[in-house]
Amino acid sequence: MSLPKRYGPWALVLGASEGTGREFARQLAAEGIPSILIARREAPLEQLKAEIAQEYGVACINATIDLAHGDALERIVAVVDDREVGLLICNAGGDPNGKVFLDVPLSAWLDLIQRNVMTTMAVCHHFAGPMRTRGQGGILLLNSGACYGGAATMGPYSGSKAFMLGFAEGLWADLQPHGVDVLTLVLGRTDTPEFRRFLAEKGMDMPEDVWSAEAVARLGLERLPHGPIQNVGQADDQSGMSPQSAAERRARVVAVSKVTAELYGTGH
């Protein structure tokens, strides 16, 4: 099935101003799918919208919304209006702090949790419902290798990404019987403007083992029908980021879902 038929007529891309979010919007436009582009900065969104219109003849819309605010879902829903969203891509959710937990004001960590956890869950709840009713659609959650365990300076961030991992697995199990695809794409080092800014701040050179944003976006769209997990740079049956491969985690989700379905009578 073609991308437009499976995931059209509209995509909603959160965190679309640069990096992988920008590449998702461009690659979807190349397939004829327009995007609703959401990010905090207006200028990059306007530039991306203009580029997509010129290169692909696809008319996107955009809005500046801070996903760390409690009213983010309400504002997103207002922008989407009556457009049918067949693909939701949650790309925002990096760690702008990169510091020891106690060296950062609590408000900054609460913003991170609001953006990475609460807003993500809220938009999935809102837009997955119509997808389930239609019997098709896709949800792609951009994740980090930090989801597999914490480390110094990464406590709240890795915790938020661990939530995304478990949430994506459960959402995949819930929606797969209804024809809706769910994938959490677990990234390693990716060449994005944000990563380059981080390296510059630390006085570090670009590592050799990095993926381009273009390659990451392409992989995510290719693997979306094969959720719930894709570890970038690893085959489905290959471990490395975690002791279990994506295939092994998928098998675990299926097995546990059978038990919970019997327990709660959900009919999976």
> What is the dihedral sign for C-alpha 63, 146, 125, 122?
negative
DSSP string, 167-182: HHHHHHHHHGGGTEEE
Q: Cite the active site residues.
A: 157, 161
Length of the chain: 268
What is the SS3 assignment for 136?
coil
Pair type for strands 61-64 and 180-187:
unpaired
Q: What residues form DSSP beta bridges with 183?
A: 140
- Tokens representing 97? 């702090």
CB 194 within 8 A of CB 18: yes
